[in-house]
């Protein structure tokens, strides 16, 4: 079993530490969920080069051969979810979220609606809403986007490493497979991102 050091780094021979403080943005106090991504880049190196200049990023990266890198401290927040989250209630439990406020929001035009939905959702706490940057860990799998609906298929070695990493994180943060999300579930993204990822 791995351990976590005082800097929020996961200690295990399977993990290479390659921390980019440039993608860390303040403290991550609570970890309630995990969001799985694909990088839209052909190699890990492309993503690391992007991380050097800062901005968006995630805590872990798994390359195509299954190599696991920790790229940010789990004590720090990364920008990986995006600015606007979807409504979990609308996506999975539509019949039970027809509050007067929701009816008002759904009558808005698309642009206003997704902003109002985001604000409405952020007032809830997890798991009533989808995870946000301030309560989740991001895991990137190397893989290029192909078209509007498709990303490269993840490799069997990536899936093996992802499952190992998830099992470690479930243990350390008392999470379960229900707390793992594909990025496009949570926010408005290419639906192909992470679509071929499976976990338990």
**Interface with Zn ion by CB under 5 A: which residues?**
37, 183
In the complex, minimum distance from the CB of residue 162 to Zn ion, in angstroms, rounded to a whole number: 14
Peptide bond into 127 cis (omega under 30): yes
In the complex, minimum distance from the CB of residue 189 to Zn ion, in angstroms, rounded to a whole number: 6
Q: Between residues 9 and 35, which has the closer beta carbon with respect to Zn ion?
A: 35
Q: Between residues 97 and 162, which has the closer beta carbon with respect to Zn ion?
A: 162
Q: Between residues 129 and 183, which has the closer beta carbon with respect to Zn ion?
A: 183
Q: Between residues 97 and 158, which has the closer beta carbon with respect to Zn ion?
A: 158
In the complex, minimum distance from the CB of residue 99 to Zn ion, in angstroms, rounded to a whole number: 29
Say if strands 10-11 and 3-4 run parallel, antiparallel, or are unpaired: antiparallel
In the complex, minimum distance from the CB of residue 188 to Zn ion, in angstroms, rounded to a whole number: 11
- Tokens coding 14: 């399977």
Considering only CA atoms, which of 44, 45, 47 is closest in space to residue 80?
47
Query: Residue with the closest Cβ to Zn ion?
Result: 37
Q: E strands of the chain, at which residues?
A: 3-4, 10-11, 15-17, 33-38, 60-62, 68-70, 136-141, 145-147, 150-151, 180-182
Say if strands 145-147 and 60-62 run parallel, antiparallel, or are unpaired: unpaired
Q: Between residues 116 and 159, which has the closer beta carbon with respect to Zn ion?
A: 159
Q: Are 101 and 120 in contact (CB under 8 A)?
A: yes
In the complex, minimum distance from the CB of residue 102 to Zn ion, in angstroms, rounded to a whole number: 26
């Amino acid at each position: 079993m791995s351990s976590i050091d005082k800097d929020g780094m996961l200690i295990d021979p399977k993990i290479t530490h390659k921390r980019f403080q440039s993608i860390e943005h303040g403290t991550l106090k609570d970890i309630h969920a995990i969001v799985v991504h694909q990088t839209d880049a052909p190699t890990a190196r492309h993503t690391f080069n992007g991380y050097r200049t800062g901005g968006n990023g995630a805590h872990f990266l798994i390359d195509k051969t299954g190599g696991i890198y920790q790229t940010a401290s789990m004590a720090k927040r990364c920008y990986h979810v995006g600015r606007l989250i979807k409504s979990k209630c609308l996506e999975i439990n539509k019949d039970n979220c027809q509050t007067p406020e929701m009816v008002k929001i759904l009558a808005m035009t698309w642009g206003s609606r997704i902003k109002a939905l985001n604000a409405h959702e952020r007032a809830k706490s997890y798991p009533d809403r989808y995870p946000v940057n301030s309560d989740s860990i991001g895991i990137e799998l190397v893989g290029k986007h192909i078209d509007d609906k498709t990303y490269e298929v993840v490799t069997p070695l990536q899936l093996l490493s992802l499952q190992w990493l998830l099992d470690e994180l479930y243990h350390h943060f008392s999470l379960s497979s229900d707390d793992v999300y594909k990025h496009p579930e949570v926010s408005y993204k290419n639906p192909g991102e992470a679509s071929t990822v499976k976990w338990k």
